[in-house]
């Protein structure tokens, strides 16, 4: 085959599992190959959208730890036994491309106080909308909701829209009826440097209506 630039090659519109991509290993300054499946398997994005957190580090926080506030560790799953009996202030790590942070609630988070999730200096939430369905059968786990750029206009229960200037997420631990029962997950993935996408897996309590506040703001 005559020498061609990659941009001159015929494009594929789909890739088979055995196909390979060229990739530069900057640590060894070599050009290698990788299959699409292996690339996806090594990506935190797959973990973000599926909830398969294999390979993440794990840590445990008590309610007292949450009441004191803390900074999440990059590429980690943090089990939090917070109950919402006090205001909780959490800080996200630097929004470095590919970073994933997951909080899993291990207690009934319905004490009525707010929890805030604030980005690091210079970081923000990506422009995105989350449309939370109401799940009337309390005790079930809701569908995983992923923030995306299309702006939802027909609510499934509650719509939350984030602007690119927002650096704080406020979540109310609404009493009795909410989606922050034990087992809920709140996740953050950096698909673009300096920007966090948001994922939420609800665990219903009572009527299964979404918490009264799940909103972004610029602070």
- Alpha carbon distance 117, 168 (integer Å): 6
Are 114 and 87 spatial neighbours (Cβ–Cβ below 8 Å)?
yes
Torsion of CA 175, 76, 200, 37, to 10 degrees: -160
Is residue 122 domain-shared with residue 36, that is, in the same domain? no
pTM: 0.85
Is residue 184 domain-shared with residue 114, that is, in the same domain? yes
* Longest Cα separation, the chain: 69
More confident residue, 189 or 33: 189
Render pLDDT for 171-214 as a digit per residue (tens, 0 to 9): 999 999 999 999 999 999 999 999 999 999 999 998 899 999 99
Strand partners, 21: 34
Q: In this structure, is residue 1 part of a structural domain?
A: no
Render pLDDT for 8-18 as a digit per residue (tens, 0 to 9): 778 877 777 67
Q: In this structure, is residue 115 part of a structural domain?
A: yes
Is residue 113 domain-shared with residue 191, that is, in the same domain? yes
* Domain range for 205: 44-217
């Amino acid at each position: 085959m005559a020498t061609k630039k990659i941009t001159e090659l015929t494009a594929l519109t789909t890739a088979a599992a055995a196909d390979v991509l060229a990739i530069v290993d900057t640590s060894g300054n070599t050009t290698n190959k990788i299959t699409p499946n292996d690339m996806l398997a090594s990506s935190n994005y797959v973990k973000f959208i599926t909830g398969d957190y294999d390979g993440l580090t794990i840590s445990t926080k008590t309610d007292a730890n949450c009441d004191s506030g803390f900074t999440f560790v990059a590429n980690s799953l943090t089990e939090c036994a917070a109950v919402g009996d006090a205001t909780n202030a959490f800080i996200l790590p630097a929004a470095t491309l590919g970073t994933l942070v997951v909080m899993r609630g291990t207690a009934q988070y319905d004490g009525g106080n707010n929890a805030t999730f604030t980005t690091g200096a210079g970081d923000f939430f990506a422009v995105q909308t989350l449309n939370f369905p109401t799940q009337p059968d309390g005790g079930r786990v809701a569908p995983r909701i992923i923030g995306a750029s299309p702006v939802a206009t027909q609510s499934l229960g509650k719509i939350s829209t984030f602007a690119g200037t927002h650096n704080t997420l406020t979540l109310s631990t609404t009493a009795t009826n909410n989606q922050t029962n034990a087992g809920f997950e709140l996740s953050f993935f950096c698909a673009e440097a300096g920007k966090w996408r948001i994922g939420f897996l609800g665990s219903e309590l009572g009527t299964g209506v979404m918490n009264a506040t799940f909103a972004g703001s610029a602070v």
